[in-house]
Structure formats: C-alpha cells, structure tokens
Amino acid sequence: MCACVVLVVGMVAAINLAVPMLAASALHPSASALVWIVDTYVIFFACLVIPGGAAGDRFGRKGVLLAGLGLFAVGALVSAVAPDVVVLLAGRALTGVGAAAVLPNTLAVLLHAVPAERRGPTIATWASMTGIGGVIGNVGGGAVLTAGSWRWLFVAAVPVSLGLAALVARVAPVSSRHDRRLDPLAAALLVGACVALLVGIVQGPEAGWGSPLVIGGFACAAALFTAWVLVELRSEHPLLDPRLFRIAGLRSACLGMTAIFFGMFALFYVNASFLQYAKGFSVLGTGLGILPLTVPIIVGGRHVGLLTRRVGLDTTIALAFAFVGGGLLGLSTTDAQTPYAGYAAWLVVTGIGVTLSLPTLSGVIAGSLPPAQAGVGTGLQSTTREFGSALGVAVIGTVFTGRFADALPPDVPAHTVAQALAIAPGRAHDVVTAFVSATSLGLRVIGVTVLVLGGLVVLESLFARGRKPRTTK
C-alpha cells in the first residue's frame, strides 16, 4: 500500500524534472501547454480522490484499487507514446483518474488489514509516504530521465504500476462493501470548475487577460463552483458537504494546507528548470538538488508535536508560514552566480516551514471532524494538497511566462526557454538572464501570497478558538 502511495504522489513531483525536455521536444508545446501537462494529472487527482474513496466503499476497496492501478498504467502508456500534446494531456488525465482511485483505497485496505491497536502507527506510516513519494519522485524521476527522453518517465511507470497491481491482487484482503451513494454529477462539476479556473489563469499571458477565453474561463468556473455547491447541499449524502466549511478551524486548516502546497509545487515547477538552465545541473543532479528541502522533515518531523505543546498551535502555524514564505522570498534572490550552498540553505528554510505545517494542519483537520467522518478528513487533506499544487503551478507558470516574454530582447519573440534558444541559439546568456528574472518574480509573487494566506489562516485559527494570540502554554 505504501508503494502505491509513493507511485501516485511521486508522479506529481517527477514530471517537473521533464519540463525542460518537454519544452525542447518534437511536440513543441507552448508555455501554457507545459503548465497543462503538469497540472492535468494533479487536477483530476485532486477532484476525484473523494469520489475514489466512495467508489471503494461501494464496489470494494481492493477492486477499485486494482482498477486505479490499471488506469494509471494505461494513462502512462498513452502519455509515453503520445504523438502530440492533446494525446499527452488525455493520457495525463487518465493517469490522474487512476491515482484518485488508488490513494484513498490504500488507506482503507490498510485499516481493514491491521488490528485496532496498530491503526495509529499505520496511519502515520501511510501519511509519511506522501512526503517520501515527493523525494523518490524527484530522485527516481531524475535517474529515469538520464536516458535522454521525457517518454521514459511514463514508460517506467507502466511496469511499476502493473507489478504493484499483481502484488495487491495477491496480498491485499477483500473488505466488506458499504452502500455509499456515488454522485458523478457533483464530481463532474468540481472537475469542470477547477479546469475552467486554471484555463483563466494559465491562458492569460498568451491569450490576453481581456480575451473571451480567459474571461469565459473565470465566469465558467464561478458558475460551475456555484452549481457544485447547490448540488451537494441538496444531496442527502453528499460526497463533500460544503456545510463542513462552517467549522472555522477546519476552514482555516484547509486553506493552510492549500497554501503550503501552493508554495511547494510552485517551487518544484521552476526549481527543475532553474537548476538545469541557470546552474547547468544534469537531470539527475536536479532531482538530487531538491533534497535539502527534505532534511528538516526527516530530522525534525517527530519534534513538531512537542513544539506545538510548548508554544501553542497558532504560533506554530505562524512560524510555519513565515519559514515557507521567507524561504521562497530568499530563493527569489538567487541567480546563476549564487553558489548552490546558498540556494540549498533557502531550501532548508522552506523545508522547516513545511515540517512545521503538515502535521499541525493535518491534526487540525482530523480533530475538527467526528471519528465517523475520518474518511472525509483524509479526503479533504488529499484534495486540498493536490488542488494547492495545481494552483501553485498555474500561478507561477503564468507569472513566469509574462515576465519571461517581457525580459527577452525584442527580436526574440518566445514564451519558453526552448523557443528562445531555437530562435536565437547564439544568445543563450540573454535567454538565461530573462529566465532568471522571470523565475525570481514568480517566486516573489508566490512567497508573498503564501505569507498573506498564512496571515489569514492564523487570524481564522485565532477566531475559531475565540482567544488572543499567546506564545506560551
């Protein structure tokens, strides 16, 4: 089950390493297409993870898990052989649907398989796999991509997912089914709303912010989100009841989880290109280059609970956002001449914030709901994480594209580094300078946004407890 989690989460991180290869490939993707290649998987993953858990309850957790691994393999194969961007996006969408069926049912199978006294450690181990998946996705993805083509990333995923399916079929127990109602209309509305929102964000720099496509995307997103809320409010058994967000603590923690992953995956999106284009790292070196971010998680994760008890929940959350936002702002000051040690130091600062935030916010989400709704809490955590990831990639991709085009010399009209180098191969220095400028602006925007959202989370958390901030308990 843990290996399944690592597979589907690792793919979220690994694809970022392939962005420079994809940009220079025969597919010739535009800047917005590159963002969609990354985000399509994440959006379907985020929006369908709760329906995926509901399907497991209704049709059998083991069967839905096996179906998810099968869909993941088929989607990866379609992506690997894609002749154009449209087919690649279809493969990414199918892989995301498979991931949404896999993730919640791995936990459900585990909880059925272990005795009650082992459930706490089992859940903690399962949850840690989401962090380990990101690390393995970067390192493993970098190793696979040394073969020289982005297609190998998807090729490698096929035998892994099929091998895991064979293992699951052999060792996973069959659990009882529950007559849990499915709501495909609500799921479709949520997916449509998120895709429309990203259309408005991602297409802005290329189509123009006043274009019918962009305005229509935002308007469609608002209409579909409204329709989704109305459908769920009228449902006797909603998949995700919007009324849950009346709980202030739950609302603030979900916003916080979204904001943290917004910052993390915005960083992941530009980090791979920065280390390859600006620092000259190999693709494997790039995968290893993000590891300083994980050092605080490995070293300090088990001490977060003690810190929270000593300084208080609100102070811990405030520190978390200060470190993440501050780390991103620090990274925005680096350039091609900055020693890697300086870059790595800011990654460690960001990692401290991630270490403080994840168990703290997860605990608030879990503690805001009764035990009978533990599955809803797990689904909310997965949904907010993946939605924040998709939104972070979309926003930094949009900011980057606009700034990069403006920073290039007037006679080099391009929206990606690969396009610019193809147009002016002898002006690599100017292209890299424009790239670094765009990356810096993108990280500044993301860092400030994380700090602002963190302030809102802390204020909401204080309001929920009805007390003034304090530094000691």
The string of pLDDT tens digits covering residues 98-134 is 999 999 889 888 888 888 788 777 877 787 787 788 8
Q: What is the pLDDT of residue 211?
A: 92
CA distance linking residue 138 with residue 343, whole number of Å: 17
pLDDT at 199 over 70: yes
CB 61 within 8 A of CB 109: yes
CB 293 within 8 A of CB 350: yes
Q: What is the pLDDT of residue 372?
A: 63
Give the mean model confidence (pLDDT) for residues 31-46.
Answer: 92
Q: List pLDDT tens digits, range 254-283.
A: 999 999 999 999 999 999 899 999 999 999
Give the mean model confidence (pLDDT) for residues 340-351.
Answer: 95
pLDDT at 473 over 70: no
CA distance linking residue 80 with residue 88, whole number of Å: 8
Q: List pLDDT tens digits, range 362-393.
A: 888 878 877 666 667 778 888 898 899 999 99
Work out the percent of the chain whose per-residue pLDDT is above 70.
Answer: 96
Instruction: Identify the residue with better confidence: 126 or 64.
Output: 64
Q: List pLDDT tens digits, range 174-194.
A: 877 766 677 889 889 999 999
Q: What is the pLDDT of residue 471?
A: 44
Locate 434 and state its tokens: 């424009």
Locate 247 and state its tokens: 């709980």
Q: How many Cα atoms sit within 13 Å of 467 on the Cβ side?
A: 9
Q: What is the greatest pairwise CA distance in the chain?
A: 68
Give the mean model confidence (pLDDT) for residues 158-174.
Answer: 94
Instruction: Identify the residue with better confidence: 288 or 365.
Output: 288
CB 52 within 8 A of CB 100: yes
CA distance linking residue 37 with residue 44, whole number of Å: 12
Alpha helices in 243-373 (DSSP H): 248-273, 283-289, 295-300, 304-311, 313-331, 340-367
Q: Is 301 exposed, middle or buried (0-12, 13-18, 19+ CB in 10 A)?
A: middle
CA distance linking residue 74 with residue 298, whole number of Å: 34
How many separate helices (H) and strands (E) can be counted in the chain?
19, 0
Supply the pTM of this predicted model.
0.89
Q: What is the pLDDT of residue 468?
A: 47
